């Protein structure tokens, strides 16, 4: 299959490209003009790098690649910035333009990348069919708006559309400000790790498992919304303590004297739909954290 991948140099996009190449697919990886290909994505005659931006699509190169499918990873994702960045509104417009233009050249499969925080957060696993959507950030509102528009258009014209909601990816290559990497950094410097939301429970999925989940979605031509999570929750305290044990510094981890309220205290996927595609996680939390720790 020939797969166009936006955001192909990013944390998730590059992991997907690497795995898809290993499975025999051809990848048209979009990257900004000033970027260079990630070293962990192998050089291959099936890996075509396409330089351009979503604002000014490199359309001649995209048409020449002739994709069978597109998976649209590119979006603002900088920790501490992305939730309310005005750039989210640009990405909504750019995503609509990309999907519509690809449909215009007869591409048969468009996969959008959503977020678990589109859901109304409850104390039970989040389900694609039964959990209501209740967006609370500009990021989730723009993501959900893209889904709603493209779903409506797909119903009208019979095109193939899927929306994958990502839960909490972690692993080698993640941004240093993300939870796991930031904890490792403090432990390396023997600094105390104070947990502001120690009991918050999230669905953490190792980056390689997330890449294989996305590939299952593409190869099975899944439709509708699909949760991309393990179905297992883990607390912030469990993550911090596991990382501290790996370094022999468990005494540095403590709950903050004044914990804060987490707006998303329990975010765990009902992963039944993903597992029905034949997907299973291959990397345990302990092993994933060990791999990440070894690279930092």
Full set of structural domains in the chain with CATH? 2-169+206-228 (3.40.50.720), 170-202+232-268+282-295 (3.90.25.10)
pLDDT at 226: 98
Rounded CA-CA distance 49/231 in Å is 34
CB 26 within 8 A of CB 68: no
pLDDT at 296: 83
Name the pTM for this structure. Answer: 0.96
CB neighbour class for 264 (10 Å; exposed up to 12, middle 13-18, buried from 19): middle
Query: Does the pLDDT of residue 267 top 90, yes or no?
Result: yes
Confidence band for 108, pLDDT divided at 50, 70 and 90: confident
Number of Cβ within a 10 Å radius of residue 281: 21
Query: Does the pLDDT of residue 258 top 90, yes or no?
Result: no
Strand stretches in the chain, DSSP E: 2-6, 26-31, 47-51, 69-72, 109-115, 160-166, 168-170, 193-195, 201-202, 204-206, 224-228, 234-235, 253-255, 266-267
Q: What is the mean pLDDT of residues 44-56?
A: 97
């Amino acid at each position: 299959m020939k797969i166009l991948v936006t955001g192909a140099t990013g944390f998730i996009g590059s992991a997907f490209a690497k795995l898809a190449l290993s499975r025999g697919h051809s990848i048209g990886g979009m990257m900004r003009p000033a970027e260079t290909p990630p070293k962990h994505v192998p050089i291959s005659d099936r890996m075509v790098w396409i330089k351009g931006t979503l604002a000014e699509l490199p359309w001649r190169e995209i048409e020449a690649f002739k994709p069978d499918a597109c998976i649209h990873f590119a979006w603002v994702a900088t920790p501490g910035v992305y939730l309310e960045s005005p750039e989210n509104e640009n990405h909504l417009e750019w995503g609509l333009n990309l999907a519509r233009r690809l449909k215009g050249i007869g591409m048969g499969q468009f996969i959008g990348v959503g977020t678990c925080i589109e859901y109304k957060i409850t104390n039970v696993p989040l389900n694609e069919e039964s959990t209501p959507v209740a967006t609370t950030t500009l990021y989730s509102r723009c993501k959900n708006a893209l889904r709603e528009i493209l779903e409506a258009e797909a119903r009208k014209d019979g095109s193939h559309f899927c929306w994958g909601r990502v839960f909490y990816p972690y692993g080698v290559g993640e941004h240093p400000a993300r939870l796991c990497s930031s904890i490792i950094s403090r432990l390396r410097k023997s600094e105390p790790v104070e947990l502001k939301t120690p009991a918050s429970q999230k669905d953490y999925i190792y980056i390689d498992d997330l890449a294989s989940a996305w590939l299952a979605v593409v190869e099975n031509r899944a439709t509708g919304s699909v949760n991309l999570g393990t179905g297992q929750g883990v607390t912030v305290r469990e993550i911090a303590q596991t990382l501290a044990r790996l370094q022999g510094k468990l005494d540095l981890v403590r709950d903050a004297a004044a914990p804060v309220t987490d707006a998303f205290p329990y975010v765990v996927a009902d992963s039944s739909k993903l597992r029905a595609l034949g997907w299973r996680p291959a990397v345990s939390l302990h092993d994933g954290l060990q791999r990440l720790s070894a690279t930092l």
